[in-house]
Amino acid sequence: MTLSPEQKDHAVELIEMGDKLEAVRYLQETLTITADQALLLAEKLEEETESDLEKEFKSMQDEIHKKPPVNVGRLVGGVFMCLGVIMLAIAAYSIASNYKFSERAITVKGKVIDYDSYESRNDDGRSTTMYTPTFEYSFKGKIYTHKSTTSSSSKDYKIDEAVNVLVDPDKPTEILIDSFWERWFVSVLLGFLGIMFTGMGYLAYRVFGKQI
């Protein structure tokens, strides 16, 4: 008598569970054979199982070796280049936006009326006092105030110092102070960082991204 697929699977399952003795008993009772014959059959099934497991393990190893290794240089280089391109795009957008704003804006006189300050800590733990100016300007008989979006470690203006203010005629609260740092600092900073990140990314991609 031969084992049916279901009987064989059950015997193999017992062997894989480490219950070889129970597998021998099961084969002996199922096939009505002697204990020695059941033991030989169980050992044969065990060998077949181990052989199948070895083949499966070898197949998995082959699949792993087929997959190309992750190239860290290209991965890091690609990330840096993407960040650099994004920064450059934002810088370009900021420049174009400021230019369009200045084209439609009306120039009025304003002045510096106050400074806010805060402490900025460096990586080494030292702190620097940063100053943020507040401007006052008049448009169509109404007084407005505007707190700068940039800060510096020194007071770049004197209190009551006159400045030119670019005002959106449709939204008088939207302004630009007509100075280089107020208008272009963010664009210049992002442009510089964008060029640096893109260059570093390209270098990493080309030099460290070569397959060994």
pLDDT value of position 46:
76
- Two tokens, residue 97: 């936006």
Query: What pLDDT does residue 212 have?
Result: 46
pLDDT of the residue at 210: 63
Q: How many angstroms from the chain centroid is the CA of residue 103?
A: 37
% pLDDT > 70, the chain: 87
| 195 in Cβ contact with 209 (< 8 Å) | no
Q: Give CA–CA dist 190/96, Å, rounded.
A: 14
As a residue count, the chain comes to 212
Higher pLDDT, 170 or 56: 170
Q: Residue 67: its pLDDT value, please?
A: 59
DSSP for residue 105: -
Task: State pLDDT tens for residues 133-169.
Answer: 999 999 999 999 999 888 888 888 999 999 999 999 9
Q: What is the pLDDT at residue 71?
A: 73
- Core vs surface per residue 50-74: b (16+ CB within 10 A) or e: eeeeeeeeeeeeeeeeeeeeebebb
Angle at 111 between CA 110 and CA 113, to 5 degrees: 135
Spatial distance between the Cα atoms of 88 and 202, rounded to a whole number of angstroms? 15
State the pLDDT at residue 172.
92
Rounded CA gap, 11 and 41, in Å? 10
Alpha carbon distance 205, 82 (integer Å)? 12
| pLDDT score, position 159 | 94
d(CA 193, CA 32): 82
Q: How confident is the model at residue 56 (pLDDT cuts 50, 70, 90)?
A: low
Q: What strands, in cross-sheet order, belong to the sheet with 142-147?
A: 142-147, 127-139, 106-121, 162-167, 175-177
Among residues 160, 162, 158, 166, which one has the least CA distance to residue 183? 166
Q: Which two tokens stand for residue 71?
A: 């190239």
11-50 pLDDT tens trace: 778 777 777 777 778 777 777 777 777 777 777 777 777 6
Over residues 93-113, the pLDDT tens digits come to 989 988 898 889 999 999 999
Nearest Cα to Cα of residue 28 among 46, 49, 7, 9: 7
Domain ranges of the chain: 5-66, 72-208
Pair of tokens at residue 54:
């070895």
Looking at every residue in the chain, the average pLDDT score rounds to: 82
pLDDT of 58 above 90: no
